[in-house]
Copies of this chain bind each other. A is one copy, B any other.
């Protein structure tokens, strides 16, 4: 099973699942445990408290659901909305597309605001729709904070501003899968009603925990939402929260201890430092892409993502070949272009527990692959650009000063 193992470490730069730090791997290296003993609820309590800090919420209620991001989406929607409800949803790439597909299959009435892949959400269109909706028929706005397929970060503060400007009561549901714990994210300040992420993204855990946080308004909505749901029903969780046993069904003991370790690492580094580090990694990547003479799939700087960069390749190159070569020759895992941009972009994920030298190893690999596939890159150019920036900006490691 291990024997596609190449010599040395795998350089994992897909935008999730991401590298798990050693202390987290260690924390999860354990036998099962009775989750009804006094120990597990006691730990769960600390996790629920601490996860709120990651979302920057004090009023939200978190749910740690044994599922993936797709399940977290379903949890957000079915707990707050009823079939037939009108929602506005932004389509800007593959993951927003998949969420919209889910919204439609869950029988909501989805008003899709589409942008070109590489652009952010069209907020003017949102403003105009809200302006026209004086009857408040729109029940929710669904937006992906960071579109993982194109490396586009949407401006959530602006979305809130528009809603407020129109005094519109629609719920604001946010996919923070590739943003929370890596990008600036402020659930309370931005009036987000449901925010969600997955354990295998910036939290740097294995897949298997969908993390959903609901505002008081979202919880209120869940009391009347008519979408059929059982596994994803927040009420089952709330019932067990009240009892102090927390779990309506069996959680993964390993992921709980893993989350504990992951949060400890994040608080040790400082959440703001974590976010700043992601900005450094994103900036360095973009500087390298520029130095290679390639285009960022993201069309404007205001949408640049600090967690994933989608790089556009010239038309005579198949970006899938870049990914294939990465794996076969350099033990480097890059992200494929998806759907509309399949073959046209490859993606560098730079999120989670990752440092600058790891990224530079990846960028060196990309340079060599570009040469492999016939792109006239000047070897060292991307590294030079990235290093020039990083050498000025990397801070001392706080625990080692």
- Are B253's CB and A206's CB within 8 A? yes
- Are A70's CB and B249's CB within 8 A? yes
Task: Tell me whether A208 and B357 are in contact in the complex, defined as CB-CB below 8 angstroms, given that A31-B25, A33-B17 are known contacts.
Answer: no
Residue of B nearest to A104 (CB): B230
Chain A positions 1-60 with a Cβ under 8 Å from a chain B Cβ? 1-12, 14, 16-23, 25-39, 43
Distance of A290 from chain B, by nearest CB (Å): 14
* A17 vs B34: C-alpha distance when bound (angstroms): 7
Chain A positions 252-273 with a Cβ under 8 Å from a chain B Cβ? 252-255, 257, 260, 265, 268-269
- Are B336's CB and A357's CB within 8 A? no
Is A390 interfacial (CB-CB < 8 Å)? Answer: yes
Residue of B nearest to A177 (CB): B250
- Are A355's CB and B367's CB within 8 A? no
Interface size class of A (residues with CB under 8 A): 35 or more
* Residues of chain B lying within 8 A (CB to CB) of residue A35: 17
* A30 vs B27: C-alpha distance when bound (angstroms): 11
Task: Tell me whether A250 and B4 are in contact in the complex, defined as CB-CB below 8 angstroms, given that A17-B32, A31-B10, A360-B361 are known contacts.
Answer: no
- Are B22's CB and A355's CB within 8 A? no
Residue interface mask A347-374, B partner, CB < 8 A = 1: 0000001111110111011011001100
Task: Tell me whether A250 and B66 are in contact in the complex, defined as CB-CB below 8 angstroms, given that A23-B2, A394-B330 are known contacts.
Answer: no
* Interface core residue of A12, A232, A336, A400 (most chain B CB under 10 Å): A400
Is A332 interfacial (CB-CB < 8 Å)? Answer: yes
Chain A positions 197-237 with a Cβ under 8 Å from a chain B Cβ? 198, 200, 206-208, 227-233
Distance of A165 from chain B, by nearest CB (Å): 33
Is A293 interfacial (CB-CB < 8 Å)? Answer: no
Distance of A293 from chain B, by nearest CB (Å): 15
Residue interface mask A61-82, B partner, CB < 8 A = 1: 0000011111101100000000
- Are B67's CB and A231's CB within 8 A? yes
* Residues of chain B lying within 8 A (CB to CB) of residue A355: 6-9, 330-331
Q: Which of B17, B21, B358 contacts A253 (CB 8 A)?
A: B17
Residue of B nearest to A35 (CB): B17
* Residues of chain B lying within 8 A (CB to CB) of residue A391: 367-368, 371-372, 379
- Are A7's CB and B43's CB within 8 A? no
Q: Which of B1, B68, B356, B361 contacts A250 (CB 8 A)?
A: B68
* A380 vs B327: C-alpha distance when bound (angstroms): 24
Distance of A385 from chain B, by nearest CB (Å): 8
Task: Tell me whether A7 and B277 are in contact in the complex, defined as CB-CB below 8 angstroms, given that A380-B384, A384-B380 are known contacts.
Answer: yes
Is A107 interfacial (CB-CB < 8 Å)? Answer: yes
Is A397 interfacial (CB-CB < 8 Å)? Answer: yes
* New A-B pairs, 16, CB < 8 Å, besides A17-B250, A32-B206, A330-B355: A4-B39, A4-B399, A8-B355, A10-B33, A11-B357, A14-B34, A22-B31, A25-B31, A26-B30, A32-B207, A208-B255, A330-B394, A331-B397, A357-B364, A360-B383, A384-B384
Question: A residues engaging B (CB < 8 A)?
Answer: 1-12, 14, 16-23, 25-39, 43, 66-71, 73-74, 83, 101-102, 105-107, 198, 200, 206-208, 227-233, 248-255, 257, 260, 265, 268-269, 274, 277, 327-333, 336, 353-358, 360-362, 364-365, 367-368, 371-372, 378-381, 383-388, 390-391, 394-397, 399-401
Q: Which 5 A-B pairs have the closest CB atoms?
A: A380-B384, A8-B355, A361-B361, A17-B32, A360-B364
